Structure 1
C-alpha cells in the first residue's frame, strides 16, 4: 500500500483523541519528559497513558514518512530502505525457525506491517498485541486489504498483563516495542509465560550501549530527546536487557548489536546531511515541506491544533537518534534470541 498523503496525515493526527483535545494531549505528553521537567518514575508509573497518547499523536506521521513498518534495519550498500526493512523482518522469522501454521505473537505490533510480512513469509498465523485502539483499527483495515484477516488478528491489551493462557504460542517476537515497558523483567516474564516450553523469543531492542556515559551532559541530552520523541519511560543498557531475560527464566541463545556491522548506518534516512529520493519525506527538504504543509493545514483547521508541536518533537527525536547513532551511544537494533527451557521430564 502507498504511504499516506499529506491530507491523510493531517486527518489522522491525534488518532482516537477528539480533535479539540489534541493540543492538551500534547501538553500532557510533553510534561512526562525530562526536556519539560518530567521524571523517570512518573513516566514508568503512567506508562500506559504516556505511550497511548504518544501513538495516538504520532501514528499518522510514522505511516506518512515510514510506511507500515515502524522500525529501523541494518542496510547493505545498494539496498533500499524498504528492502532492508523487509530483510530485517525475514531475519527475525528465520532466527525463530518459524514453520507453516504455527501460532506466533507480535508484542507491540504497531499497525501490523511486520506482522503481515512475517505471516506471508513464514505461512504462520500471527497475533498482534497492542494497547492502542487507533493503531489496532488501522491494522485491521490493512489486514483486510492484504487478505490476511483470516489468519492474522489483533488483541488490545497491555504487554505487562497479557490476556492469554500459559504456553499459548509457538514463537514470540518484539520489534523495537518492549523498550516502552516500565519494567523489562515483568514484561519478559509475561512473554515467558505465554510462550510454549522449548520455544524461542526474539527481539530488536532500543538500548544505550556501553559507550553511553550517564555523567556526560551531552549524552544525557541525547537520551532525553530520544525518550521524548519516542514515548519511552527510560532507555535500558544492553546488559540490563540480557540480565532481565535471565531473571525472567530465559536461556540466551545469542545476542548482538546489529548496528555495528551495518554497511549503511541505520540512522541515515533521518540524517539531514543525506538526500534520498526513495525516502524523500525523511530528508531535510522533505521535512521542510511536511512542516509547512502541517502548519498550513493546522491554520486552515484541517489538522487539529497541536499538530505542529507533534511534528516538532518528532524532528527533535530524529536529531537525538542520529546523534546517538553517530556517537555509538545508542542502538535501535540490539538483537537477542532467547529460549524458554523445556519442561523437565518425569
Structure 2
C-alpha cells in the first residue's frame, strides 16, 4: 500500500461455544491486556517450538523450516522495495526475528515497536548478540499511538507481519501507520483474516474464529473485506494484494502444525515438527510442570 502525497490527492472469555458480542467488546477495550497476557506466557514457548520469527510461511520441497521463514520475510521486503539507508518501522516486532533478517537482507535501518516488556528485552538481547544494535532498535509502546510516539511523516516504509490482527480495529492501526509514513511511503503487511467464505452468522464459523482468538491472544478475528475496506477508508492506495495460502504449493503452509515427522523437509526439521505432535506436546507440557515446581519458570507456563 502506498501513502499518496497531499499534493497528489487535494490481533477474554474461555468458552468458544458461548462467545458473545459483549465478550468481544470486552476483549477489544482491553486489547493490550489480552495481548500482553498471552505473550507473557507464550513467548518462550514460541521460541522453543517455532523460532524467533513468530509467523507462518510457504514451503518448497526440501526447504528447511527457518529458511522458509527468512524467504517469507525477504519476499515482503522485496515487494516493498526496501533499500539501504531507509528508515523502516516494524509494527508488532515480537522478539525481533524479522527485523534482524530484513535489516541484513536490505541494509535498511529498522525500528521495532512492541508493547510487551518481556519481548522487547529479548529482542534487544538477540540483536546485540547479532551485532546489529546500531541498525536495528526497539521501542516499547502502543502501536495504536504511533504518531504520538514517532511524529508524522517519520518513516520511509512500514511493515507488519501477522501483528496488526491484534489491534482493536483495522482502521485505527492502519490510520496510525499512514500518519507516520512519509508521502509516497510504502506499507507492507501479512495480515491474519478470515476468507470470503467465512460467515460469522453460522455458529460453526463463529466458533472456529473464536478458537483462533483464544489460541492466539486476538481480541477479534475479522474477514478479509474488513481489511480491504479499512485500507481504502484511511487513505491508502492498494498496489498489490494476494492470498499466499491459495497458491498450489506442494507442501502446505500449515504442515509443521500437523506434527507428522515424516513430512519434515530436512533432517534438522524433525525436532520442530515432533514438538507439534501428541508426544511432543505431552513431553513439553510435563517438562514445564516440573520446571514450574522447581521455580525455573514462572507458574502458569505449563497451561
TM-score range, shorter chain: 0.7 to 0.9
What is the correspondence of 1:267-286 to structure 2 with a 5 Å cutoff? 267-273=254-260, 275=262, 276=264, 277-279=270-272, 280-286=274-280
User: Equivalent of 1:264, from 251, 258, 263?
Assistant: 251
1:114 equivalent to 2:101? Answer no
1:66 alignment counterpart: 50
Instruction: Find the aligned partners of 1:247 and 1:222 in 2 and give their Cα distance.
Output: 28
Question: Which stretches in structure 2 are left out of the alignment for 5+ residues?
Answer: 1-11, 265-269
When normalised by structure 1's length, the TM-score is 0.77
Cα deviation for residue 214 of structure 1 reads 1.8
User: Equivalent of 2:161, from 175, 185, 190?
Assistant: 175
2:120 alignment counterpart: 136
Cα 1:32–1:166 change in 2 (3 A) is farther
Question: Which stretches in structure 1 are left out of the alignment for 5+ residues?
Answer: 1-29, 310-346
Instruction: Find the aligned partners of 1:213 and 1:98 in 2 and give their Cα distance.
Output: 37
CA contact (8 A) 2:76 2:188 kept: yes
User: Equivalent of 1:205, from 191, 204, 207?
Assistant: 191
Deviation per CA, 1:265-303, whole angstroms, max 9, x where unpaired?
111111145543152323333222211211222334433
What is the correspondence of 1:1-346 to structure 2 with a 5 Å cutoff? 30-31=12-13, 34=16, 39-162=23-146, 163-261=149-247, 262-273=249-260, 275=262, 276=264, 277-279=270-272, 280-309=274-303
Q: Cα RMSD over matched residues?
A: 1.7
Instruction: Find the aligned partners of 2:290 and 2:246 in 1 and give their Cα distance.
Output: 41
When normalised by structure 2's length, the TM-score is 0.88
1:336 alignment counterpart: none
- SS for the counterpart of 1:232 is coil
Cα deviation for residue 218 of structure 1 reads 2.7
